Structure 1
């Protein structure tokens, strides 16, 4: 999904700015209506415009995507030809994050299926953080190079591998979506050909952001999936495509008339800036959370419940328009209401 710039003007125009102004006094300070309990984190709701239609965000023009092979894959499918890839899914599509496109008035869902596996060998770069005064293995300072001096393929590899090196022994871990086998895997031949770190005369260590790391590159066996690209027609008209996207991505739908006055005030303040309360929530906040189907947040032990803090915004439909909303817990010192 493309990230839209938050725009609350249309939202406030839809639900009435006057109600927001008139409600400013009755919302008051959250501390006046909820108990002061340091164990309960304030829950903040923010709402922003998600754009005029879901098609604007989810229907992709393949001519504008970065890998040119996406267009080639789609054309092959339309011509009845099998198109396969290795090292990555066609169209960059995954079941939880599908890609849609339009051709000759028909909308397609693009994806892939695994049809085979291939045993192959890839170089793996691992870095180990070295002491600032520690000499390189040969004692030759010339064997240390800056990541900025390396080819871009190696500079990118160092950026990933150093995250794992710095995470060892520390809380928080590393971005495991990028890291594989505790380092960075050079997965394609063109990347390997452009690398200095993979070559036989690679430097013994590299520096990155004023830290020095010993370089280790090993050749390891991988079993890679082979993907076949797919394209399924899902709609013949814009309204039909919009219905498909609503069914898949819109989490909740409600109108202004479905809410109480207090709940409307909270929605409007969330759209104007943000709204924050700590548990136990006011009845107005509870109505908003129920309308959004966010019932786990109504649990008094919600701060310890798993799975309530999701990544990224969630889509709701309010008065026929789409909005992104985000719920997140704050520490009391960071809450402003």
Structure 2
């Protein structure tokens, strides 16, 4: 061993912060907020400790709580008062996300991102218009092109309500191009699109589906979300979204897909976002509840690993806790 080469020299308390390669700040984080049109008071989400569904009347107060920690951006998810086959409450002018967006943008300085998908709004829980007899035949799936029109209507309605950014998450082919065209035609050319460009059909989404009441009533989403085995396909998906005008590129989930985050960062110039999903959050909480892990330490280390892999933005249920620790 060459004793002149001693990396430990740079690990003492005085120098360690100065040579740290990766930094994490509250301004890197986006906090999810679940707004429930069926609730009159806050409802704890059992599978996501520390999180609640909030009624529309509580949306502003909830966002202000987040802002007090230093987190500047939120993403709004909605639980509507009614559902139907096509998810028509997703683009209703008086829809839950639209109303929450108007209030939050009017009364706070938060940067408001809105989720553009139909699964929370459809009676079947899938992310678009179903093919005929899809409930009886698992080989059938969501109609791609018919769904594009509804996603576009949803994004435009959210922009009209004041959304600073829209985030389509359905993995519908052509969704970014359709939404970009719709926003531009409606006069919202300045509203950016954060596309869920590489969204996997993951087992880590379970608690979110409880929180947003968006679990499929039958079947699964393997016909439109990505196969966890595929990495090259992710680059193809992301490239298509870039060509269609995506402003920010999302990888979801984060921790099991850090190789994808790194690949997107190296291949593309757009900002990269990663979604530290509900299952990642819940499993750390469960281990901490057992006394097996220190929750604050593993939460911070997890987010640092996502940032180190190349994410510029992290959507995480740990946002407030980590922001306080920072």
Q: Decide: shared fold, TM above 0.5.
A: no
Q: What is the TM-score when the length of structure 1 is the normalising length?
A: 0.19
Identify, as 1 or 2, the structure richer in helix. Answer: 2
Identify, as 1 or 2, the structure richer in strand. Answer: 1
Considering only CA atoms, is the larger Rg found in Structure 1 or Structure 2? 1
Q: What is the TM-score when the length of structure 2 is the normalising length?
A: 0.19
